[in-house]
Homo-oligomer: A and B are copies of this chain.
């Protein structure tokens, strides 16, 4: 066979951290202890009430397909959640249940982006975004951002960078890798500008419930025309269940439903039944205490890293990441993280997994491990840096 991998794949790299994690596993198999601060997945297992609801659904034989847009009762439950907890009115019919936020991203871009159109996004940012855009024949328009704008796009930047080919803007709040947020007045300005240009605004809120400085809220309140991406993975501790949701503007709901029918059929049934228990007081209490644990980890880790010489200018108000400037130690953060893994037994993620802009001077720390482990990780880094 004449091997001809599709051209799009030349632009879709693996996550660099995958090789690093494989090396970490190899070291562990040799008996080395590794402190894991690289993985964007909570260390907590799924809360017991959710797991129990999943078990109950399986026992009741709920193993057939659901409608493509999801269980009507889950869509209704999410609408109630938005109304009661986040103070935004969303009709249940605008909420489409998806296989993870990945599914929601694919739907939002699939119904909006035409080939050769551009989608603006921050660099650094979640790496899959630019690959989804590429998959649909569009072009990722990566705008360099840094600590001066909290690693976020601003209304000003978006206006400056907008081109006739720009069709959409993607925002993540809180963001991966930086954990920073966009505030309500900024998003209202962005929304107004994008609307005026006839464009589309896509807001990733998968970390929105992991908000440490203020009660969680949805930017949908200030950008009612936006697509909202969300997920049960991060806050609700359901990563492996593969369940998320998309809120689509009314005019796109029908297209989203058709695309979902064709590319997924439906999200996993047992996960949908489990998620019905996500908003019960018992679950919410567990999740609130986990949020406090994440906050305590952040409050320990950030100053500890700063003391070592990592530069972190903003205290990130959400998610579970610290995006640190490591230029005091290296101009090649990828080589640096590999060396840190080998010599200090600490796994962190290189900046190049999130884009190009000053990627070589940045690393991401994930506080997805217990505070004792973070302390040990910091001690090891201290030893490493003082002997380097």
Asked if B41 contacts A63 (CB within 8 A), the reply is: no
Verify if A388 is at the interface (C-beta below 8 Å from B): no
Asked if A45 contacts B59 (CB within 8 A), the reply is: no
Asked if B63 contacts A258 (CB within 8 A), the reply is: no
User: A12 contacts which chain B residues (CB < 8 A)?
Assistant: 255, 258-259, 262
User: A267 contacts which chain B residues (CB < 8 A)?
Assistant: 242
Asked if B1 contacts A265 (CB within 8 A), the reply is: no
User: A61 contacts which chain B residues (CB < 8 A)?
Assistant: 45-46, 51
Asked if B6 contacts A262 (CB within 8 A), the reply is: no
Verify if A238 is at the interface (C-beta below 8 Å from B): yes
Interface positions of A (Cβ within 8 A of B):
1-9, 12-15, 18, 41, 45-46, 51, 54-55, 58-59, 61-66, 99-100, 102, 106, 110-115, 127-128, 131-132, 135-137, 167, 195, 198-200, 225, 237-242, 249, 251-252, 255, 257-259, 261-271
User: A45 contacts which chain B residues (CB < 8 A)?
Assistant: 61, 63-64
User: A255 contacts which chain B residues (CB < 8 A)?
Assistant: 5-6, 9, 12
Asked if B242 contacts A135 (CB within 8 A), the reply is: no
**With the chains together, A111 CA to B110 CA distance in Å?**
18
- Extra contacts, 12 of them, besides A55-B58, A63-B240 (Cβ < 8 A), are A4-B200, A5-B111, A5-B252, A8-B114, A51-B58, A58-B58, A100-B264, A102-B265, A115-B115, A128-B262, A241-B270, A270-B270
Of the listed residues A3, A62, A240, the one surrounded by the most CB atoms of chain B closer than 10 A to its CB is: A240
Least CB distance from A349 to B in Å reads 14
User: A270 contacts which chain B residues (CB < 8 A)?
Assistant: 54, 240-241, 270
- Asked whether A259 and B9 contact (CB < 8 A) given A137-B137, A269-B241, the answer is yes
A41: contacting residue among B54, B64, B239, CB under 8 A: B64
User: A251 contacts which chain B residues (CB < 8 A)?
Assistant: 1, 3, 5
Least CB distance from A348 to B in Å reads 18
Least CB distance from A58 to B in Å reads 5
A112: contacting residue among B4, B14, B106, CB under 8 A: B4
Asked if A4 contacts B41 (CB within 8 A), the reply is: no
Asked if B46 contacts A263 (CB within 8 A), the reply is: no
Asked if B1 contacts A66 (CB within 8 A), the reply is: no
Asked if B100 contacts A6 (CB within 8 A), the reply is: no
**With the chains together, A198 CA to B4 CA distance in Å?**
8
Asked if A258 contacts B112 (CB within 8 A), the reply is: no
Least CB distance from A48 to B in Å reads 10
**With the chains together, A249 CA to B3 CA distance in Å?**
10
Asked if A15 contacts B240 (CB within 8 A), the reply is: no
Q: Which 9 A-B pairs have the closest CB atoms?
A: A240-B269, A2-B198, A46-B63, A45-B61, A3-B251, A131-B262, A9-B255, A1-B225, A128-B262
Asked if A1 contacts B249 (CB within 8 A), the reply is: yes
Asked if A102 contacts B263 (CB within 8 A), the reply is: yes
A258: contacting residue among B2, B14, B106, B263, CB under 8 A: B14
Asked if A239 contacts B63 (CB within 8 A), the reply is: yes
By beta carbon, the residue of chain B nearest A224 is: B1
**With the chains together, A37 CA to B225 CA distance in Å?**
41
Asked if A239 contacts B64 (CB within 8 A), the reply is: yes
User: A198 contacts which chain B residues (CB < 8 A)?
Assistant: 1-2, 4
- Asked whether A114 and B7 contact (CB < 8 A) given A18-B261, A263-B106, the answer is yes
Asked if A264 contacts B3 (CB within 8 A), the reply is: no
